[in-house]
Chain A
Amino acid sequence: MHRFANPARFTRIADRVLPFVAVATAAALGVGFYMALFVAPPDYQQGESVRIMYVHVPSAWMAMFIYVAIAVASAVALIWRHPLADLAAKASSPIGAGFAFLTLVTGSLWGRPMWGTWWEWDGRLTSMLILFFLYLGHMALMHAFDDQQRGYRAAAILALVGVINIPIIKFSVDWWATLHQPASVFRLDGPTIHPSMLWPLLITAVGFKLYYVTVVLLRIKSELIAARLRALDLARLKAS
């Protein structure tokens, strides 16, 4: 991984990879959304409202995946002082926050007609809300200090402490009698979702993951340029 430590090399590799990832993202999302809206059958209980699931579930997966990615990057940054790790964490949290937000809102839009409530303080919903707040806190801490390194360190510690929330989200539906239904895809006895609905879901989920790769590469690239600009400004300040 340290091979990517050199910013110039990282940018070179990112530039080479980005066109492919971007095209794949567009293709997967295009096919996925089309299938979700027009091909997938209505559910026997939920009717057409099941289509919300195709954006809700991938958003939730991404919100959790990105948080774990940030936690791993934070550990790498704290332990090995890898210079790109902090930037990867910084570049990721707005994307994760966006997906956590989408999870909450689309879940609410499904819950109103199906459960009969926009919101319920149940274990799954509350722990997802906490994840959203963790993202906001992470973003705030990144910018909270004049000394950037201190901000990065504080945010990294928050990310590592908050990672405890991820298993809570995942297992909340098993630990508590939540209103939220148990897992349908990742379960030991196999998915309880019909293939005609599972495929559109998986394709959309792949699209969401590729989207994250695209945007995070662009954002890390952007952060590297920002770091260079800051260094140049500093050098000019010293020279004058």
Chain B
Amino acid sequence: MGGYAAFVWPSLGLTLVVMLGLLLSTLRQLRARQRRLAALEAEGATRRPRGGSLAAAAPGDAPTVTRSRENERSEEAAS
């Protein structure tokens, strides 16, 4: 590396470490959440049919409900 090995390799290495690290932590978190959701669904905690919007599972969650209503409106507008 023409005398620059001590600068070039750490640059490349750190880039790989950061990019891979972020990807792996993202995947780990996603898997953990998927597992928890699957466990809750197996328990029957989701009383409503799947595939609905967020609000379907959260009757009491005020902000989500408002938002989902807007979704419906905009979806109607789009169709």
**Contact residues of A with B, CB < 8 Å?**
2-3, 5-8, 33, 36-37, 42, 47-49, 51-52, 55-56, 59, 81, 83, 94-95, 98, 101-102, 105-106, 109-110, 112-113, 148-149, 211, 214-215, 218-219, 221-222, 224-232, 234-236, 238
* Contact A95 to B60, CB < 8 A, known contacts A48-B8, A113-B7: no
- Residue on B nearest A236 in the bound complex, by CB: B45
Q: Is the CB of B71 within 8 A of A235?
A: no
Chain B, interface residues (CB within 8 Å), range: 35 or more
Number of A-B contacts (CB under 8 A): 136
Which 9 interchain pairs have the tightest Cβ spacing?
A: A231-B58, A48-B2, A2-B74, A222-B30, A49-B4, A106-B11, A225-B33, A55-B15, A5-B71
B interface, over-half SS: helix
Contact partner of B59 (CB less than 8 A), chosen from A33, A148, A235, is A235
Give Cα distance in the complex from A102 to B45, angstroms: 43
Tell me which residues across on chain B come within 8 A of A98, comparing CB atoms.
18-19, 22
Tell me which residues across on chain B come within 8 A of A227, comparing CB atoms.
54, 64
Q: Is the CB of B8 within 8 A of A49?
A: yes
